[in-house]
Chain A
């Protein structure tokens, strides 16, 4: 191992299954020590396959996998020191929590006193001391999750791999468990890879998000960046709830002006030397502000209110623009508008993201 090598590196990794399905294409990816990385994408995007390739449960068709600079492509899972937590937790139902925690260490022939010490330590850190003597089959879902994570961490893996571990939880508990997972990861400082299709989960948990689609990485970066500066139309539409408003427009390359097809509006794109063409204007719902009268000359969209949905501190307002497209605004506080009422939405031109309509890529 040399300094500077990432914990895990995938180099040109591809996976084609026997039936010809291409799950992952030519993937280059680095996972740093201590990172919390979320693989995010719709079902079938290749995120679980990528996780399994890292775990050694699948062999890549092409490319290599490295662990701290060592090539491990052919290593079996147990040699890689990865800790995998399954969606159904796969606990030994008839065994106590203590035995579940100790099992992996005992199998590996860890000395008994060492096993006892580590199990006790893990139980204290995950607040499992009171249930050490309880059979796994009698535990509630959130305790099962703690045991599953504890059982994996007790072996001190190089990396913790989680595949949609919160799918079985109902809404309120899910948020609690999320916060819990995040604080464990910060406490244990262990690199974690977390697979999910839920963008909110990825945003709240990850230090880095790897957005995948059709076996390829669409974008990779910290949540703020993936959210604020999406590199493709797909990422813009996939991340955020309500999702980003995407409006067709035309870019005039000589003047740098963008005209929305759907509203009488022009804005300075600030782009230099661009060919004219069809573009998509992306603007987040929270950047569309209902205003009255003329304020500070910011660009604005005019339309009528279609639907008002209060969400406690915020309100979602659907607005039908003059051209017929509906945009969604997310505003702080209470909006008391009725459907059919005219409304003007102002926005900060700096908050707008432009995409090339044919390639789907962001234009800077």
Chain B
């Protein structure tokens, strides 16, 4: 039996279908991630789990029993939002201890619980300070700490790290993951940033327009995306997706036709409009002997790698990742090698993967 079960959840706001039948299950002690662009339905799911919204259809089960009839305050679910307000007139200790005093826990236990969580999140130095003196990262830590001391059955984190600097975000993904491991707290984390989700989560559900697209561990989502959107969301820079026409040429080869190029690859795909997907890190950029000719546009240094925009013909720009020592000048003519074993093909209309077969 799963700890949290979300069954075929549907929700409509006016004419907008916010959720169109979402199903997933989270194990006890798991860090589960909902991954999707703004508007995919992540926050709506959280609101339904927390009891702030009723679904039109479907069910939410915690430890095997439906909680739809249970009032929010009795569900034992805590939620942390991106723009979470702390009590401005209270210190970090006050903010964290507040809910525990309301529950009339003994003073000793309150101090012990707050102290332990403050240690884990490294916020001891804030215990006597008020929120207006915190940095952005410290504010988020205290918000998470305040939810965590309650030891809820489920902790929902909605974009809890967005808006923070990249460095702080990277540090905090590490901290949250360690924290989750050490406390065994069941968490669901919603984000549009794959690196954030993947860095922490055991499994992710990729969502789009109120529906789940693929549920898997982060490595599988990267290596085997089942829908074009999964390719778009996972990986930086995002997967190159080229709208073109597939024409089978017999004996397992297919020609991909685009106004800017023709490319024949030894893979079998049915005739039709497709999205040819290839990751920037899988394109081989060299002087010659490639599959496509291109002109170097913008080159961006990233430290361990460079990101290059490559113009193929009039319309198409592809992104490639190359080693930092590879010298490329803007305007230079290069060739691009497309490795057939690392190519994904999605049907253009449904955006479902057709090659390799799912």
Contacts and interface: CB of A to CB of B under 8 A. Distances in A.
A311 B235 CA distance: 7
B304 A330 contact: yes
Contacts of A307: 174, 177-178
Interface in B24-70: none
A179 B300 contact: yes
A288 B106 CA distance: 49
A310 B297 contact: no
Given A307-B178, A309-B177, A313-B279, A203 B236 contact: no
B236 A241 contact: no
Contacts of B174: 307, 309, 318
Contact of A313 (B166, B192, B281): B281
B167 interface: yes
Interface in A112-159: none
Given A312-B222, A312-B234, A313-B281, A241 B194 contact: no
A183 B236 CA distance: 19
A37 interface: no
Given A203-B303, A241-B166, A243-B167, A312 B194 contact: yes
A334 B220 CA distance: 10
Chain A contact patch, size range:
35 or more
B301 interface: yes
Contact of B235 (A186, A224, A241, A313): A313
B237 to A, nearest CB: 8
Nearest to A239: B303
Nearest to B222: A312
A311 B199 CA distance: 6
B167 A204 contact: no
Given A179-B309, A286-B304, A316-B199, A310 B298 contact: no
Given A182-B298, A223-B301, A243-B167, A312 B235 contact: yes
A270 interface: no
Given A307-B177, A310-B222, A224 B302 contact: no
A198 interface: yes
A284 B303 CA distance: 10
Given A198-B165, A198-B166, A310 B198 contact: yes
B324 interface: yes
**What 7 pairs between A and B have smallest CB-CB spacing?**
A309-B199, A204-B300, A312-B235, A286-B304, A223-B301, A310-B218, A313-B281
29 contacts: A171-B192, A172-B192, A179-B300, A183-B298, A199-B167, A200-B303, A203-B303, A224-B324, A227-B324, A228-B324, A240-B303, A241-B170, A241-B303, A284-B303, A286-B303, A307-B174, A309-B198, A309-B199, A310-B198, A311-B195, A311-B198, A312-B194, A312-B235, A312-B236, A313-B279, A316-B199, A318-B174, A334-B223, A339-B181
